[in-house]
Chains A and B, each alone.
Chain A
Amino acid sequence: MSFKRTILDLRKRKKEAQQGGGEKAIEKQVAMGKKTARERIKAILDENSFHEYDLFVEHTGRDFDMEKKVLHGDGVIIGTGTMYNQPVAIYAQDFTVAGGSLGLMHARKITKIMDHALKMRVPLIGINDSGGARIQEGVNSLAGYGEIFYRNTNASGVIPQISVILGPCAGGAVYSPALTDFVFVVENISKMFITGPGVIKTVLGEEISMEELGGAMVHSEITGNAHFFAKSEDECFEQIKKLITFIPWNNEQKALKFPIQEPLLKKNIDEIVPVDPHNPYDVRDIIKAVTDGSDFFEIMENFARNIVIGFGRIQGNTIGFVANQPMYLAGVLDCDSSDKAARFIRYCDAFNIPIVTLEDMPGYLPGVDQEHAGVIRHGAKLLYAYSEATVPKVTVIIRKAYGGGYIAMNSRHLGADFVFAWPTAEIAVMGPEGAANIVFKKEIDEAENPAEMRKQKIQEYKDKFANPFVAASKGYIDEVIEPSETRARLIHSLEISASKVDPRPERKHGIPPF
């Protein structure tokens, strides 16, 4: 064979393998409103940057006539490329090849690219579109899943891991995304569940559609399994490209510094918050009033809306924001919001991203459902995450900071480096109404006009404690600031904390209340 012929032969083989499941299967994929695995990789990475490996890998199934079947690439594409000229590793399951089912070699390809990503300390993006385990390969496919989970865990907190759910992701397969840092879902395309609607109906008699059980909105609004919700694959890819600008490439680096921009203020920061503490506002407006270019990239926007988390930049550096949201459920802490914020705090801490906390929170949500759902152990996650974090931690108390919630929201006592309060801040063991009822119970009960006395005592308590000055007198707050000074104080305190060292006792690892 001449040299030229070998090259032509190679090209032919490549072309054939790149067809995946063939024209018909691709047509089906497109008819479902989905892009092909190859198109997806192309859409995420820089133009012409993708290099594929293991294109010629073949499956090893020898039972149930599998040996007669050719599955190109064994249903998954792996490779490396760049985003913003920085290297990333990526894999995409190809639903057109045997429904993207996971057999031994399919899993081996994924674990190979995972090992690369971890060794090279570059982010890993996984696109999931698979019918699940390849039943014909039996325990080999289970082995494959396990080997992926093990690597997800080892890479956790070392390199960013991003999961994109662009098709079914059911049974054991769901646990790889669950172990990664950020999960992206798309309306009508993503489906995630452990057991499908059919099984649920047979076993428990509960009737539910696939979309209602494990559709994209369910996971972004109810379960909290997904971090980003998009209406189309293209929107989803834009979200991935934006997220990646905020995070460092590995845990030994810092996020890329961007040019400094002033916030684009629509109104004065002190006009955002109503003076009457009973009235709600959107805390994201305060975040936008302090971030560069008023850019705030929210994470888990639809889940536990009573707390807001996400990234913004201050002086060009990525900051993780955690803020109570008075607009939803009065901004209370509960099981879901504690869980949501705690995991984000641990992300920021692992990847050297300073945390700014904005506090306006009336306490923990009362109720039997909360207590029985385990608000004690879920709430403890938040305390653990803040106390454990050694990145710079700055808190600004906007209005209410009551009781256990005051402690939990990155108080001085949990190791905050700087705590600022607006003059509207109320730092107390509980709200004036509740406190007056307890402290002045006797006076109120014995008064000629208890209602009048109660009102008077509430006012008395308010005057004395519903302000930032008692806490400031103990040094629990470093400075009471005017709202318009907030950005300047954040800039300064984050600059001062840039080389922060905060050693912790030697240990294998802590035991957070998972």
Chain B
Amino acid sequence: MEENNSKYQVFVVNSVRYLTLTTTKFDKRKKWQKADPKEIRSIIPGSVIEIFVSPGQELKEGEVLLTLDAMKMYTKVEMPFDGVIKSINVIKGDRIPKDTVMITIE
């Protein structure tokens, strides 16, 4: 019985502790993290076809950073606010998955 119990985990719901099993999906869940606005991430998988900026460059909100070829569409990625390019983590021709940090700004 003791051994049998060991596979159960403690789970708290509405201030009450329960012993229970968890699901694979629950175990694999990603912890929520606040998005960092200074990281420009890809919102869709694609290829980088053009980069228009370089590190250290000062830019205004709305200026185009790069073009991503994703799902047969050229998507322009723009500066979300005024700032300076800190680093560029992709090069022209890179095929990148979704959620890749392409550029960081400061």
Q: Which B residues lie within 8 Å of A212 (CB)?
A: 34
The answer to whether A365 and B44 touch (CB under 8 A), given A203-B13, A206-B31, A206-B32, is: yes
Q: Is the CB of A369 within 8 A of B98?
A: yes
Interface residues of A, dominant DSSP: loop
Report whether A362 and B72 are in contact in the complex, using a CB–CB cutoff of 8 Å.
yes
Contact A280 B72 (CB under 8 A): no
Q: Is the CB of A330 within 8 A of B71?
A: yes
Q: Are B73 and A362 in contact (CB under 8 A)?
A: yes
Is B69 part of the contact surface with A, judged by Cβ < 8 Å? Answer: yes
Binding site for A on B (CB under 8 A): 11-14, 31-32, 34, 43-45, 69-75, 97-98
> Which residue of A has the minimal Cβ distance to B69?
A278
**Structural contact, B32 and A278, CB atoms closer than 8 A:** no
Contact residues, A155-203 vs B (CB, 8 A)? 199, 202-203
Within 359-402 of A, Cβ neighbours of B (below 8 Å) are at 362-363, 365-367, 369, 400
Closest residue of chain A to B34, judged by CB?
A212
Kindly list chain A residues whose C-beta atoms are within 8 Å of the C-beta of B75: 280, 330
Please state if B71 and A363 are interface contacts (CB–CB under 8 Å). Answer: yes
In the complex, 22 of the A-B residue pairs with CB atoms within 8 angstroms, ordered by the A residue number, are A199-B14, A202-B12, A203-B13, A204-B31, A277-B72, A278-B69, A278-B72, A278-B73, A278-B74, A279-B73, A280-B73, A280-B74, A329-B43, A330-B72, A331-B71, A331-B73, A362-B73, A365-B44, A365-B71, A367-B45, A367-B98, A369-B98
Size bracket, chain A contacts = 20 to 34
Query: Given the interface contacts A203-B13, A330-B44, A367-B45, does A279 sit within 8 Å of B32 by beta carbon?
Result: no
User: Do B32 and A431 touch (CB < 8 A)?
Assistant: no
- A208 proximal to B (CB < 8 A): yes
Most chain A C-beta atoms within 10 Å of own C-beta, residue among B13, B14, B44, B71: B71
> What CA separation (Å) do A280 and B73 show in the bound complex?
7
Q: How far is the CA of A277 from the CA of B11 in the complex (A)?
A: 52
Q: How far is the CA of A485 from the CA of B31 in the complex (A)?
A: 52
Query: Are A431 and B72 also in contact (CB < 8 A) when A202-B12, A206-B32 are?
Result: yes
